[in-house]
């Protein structure tokens, strides 16, 4: 009986972290891509998703912030990105799936990106 109990506890412990990972499809409008233009404040190269933080300006010149959820580093490498693809001060134009809640956040999983007018995945 003790072996079965230990096995059950082990299985539960292994499965619980899997349920903690969430999909992004319910957070972002997958039917819409919108361009966001801004200056890189910070780029986090981390799991489970890399993140890009931008300072933006609206049509009236008001400064704001925008966060972009991106692929994991492993998938970004496969697309041609590196941990230095985005540096503070870089000018970025990026297409994102916008937040369904209207927040200044978006998702870019393989969408178009220009950094200082160039594709960061192409060797210049």
What is the per-residue DSSP string for 84-107?
TSS-TT-EEEEEEEEBTT--SEEE
Q: Which residues contact 36 (CB under 8 A, 6 or more apart)?
A: 54, 56, 66, 68, 92, 93, 94, 95, 96, 106
**Count of residues for the chain?**
124
Geometric angle at alpha carbon 54, from 103 and 36, rounded to 5°: 65
Looking at the DSSP assignment, which residues form a beta bridge with residue 94? 36, 113
Structure confidence at residue 123 (pLDDT): 76
Domains and CATH numbers, the chain: 24-115 (2.40.50.140)
Q: Which residues contact 116 (CB under 8 A, 6 or more apart)?
A: 90, 91
Looking at the DSSP assignment, which residues form a beta bridge with residue 93? 37, 114
Place of tokens 């007018």: 117
Structure confidence at residue 12 (pLDDT): 45
Model pTM greater than 0.85? no
Structure confidence at residue 26 (pLDDT): 72
Show pLDDT as tens, one digit a residue, over the chain (124 residues). Answer: 555 444 434 434 444 444 344 555 579 999 999 999 999 999 999 999 999 999 999 889 999 999 999 999 999 999 999 999 999 999 999 999 999 999 999 999 988 999 999 999 987 6
Q: How far is CA 83 from the centre of its chain?
A: 13
């Amino acid at each position: 009986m003790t072996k079965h109990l230990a096995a059950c506890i082990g299985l539960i412990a292994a499965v619980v972290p899997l349920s903690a990972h969430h999909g992004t499809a319910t957070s972002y409008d997958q039917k819409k891509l919108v361009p966001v233009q801004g200056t890189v404040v910070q780029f986090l190269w981390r799991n489970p998703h890399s993140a890009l933080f931008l300072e933006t300006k609206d049509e009236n010149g008001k400064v704001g912030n925008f966060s972009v959820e991106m692929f994991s580093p492993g998938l970004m490498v496969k697309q041609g990105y590196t941990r230095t693809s985005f540096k503070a001060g870089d000018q970025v134009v990026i297409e994102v799936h916008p937040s369904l809640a209207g927040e200044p956040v978006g998702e870019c999983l393989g969408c178009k990106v220009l950094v200082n007018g160039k594709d960061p995945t192409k060797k210049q």
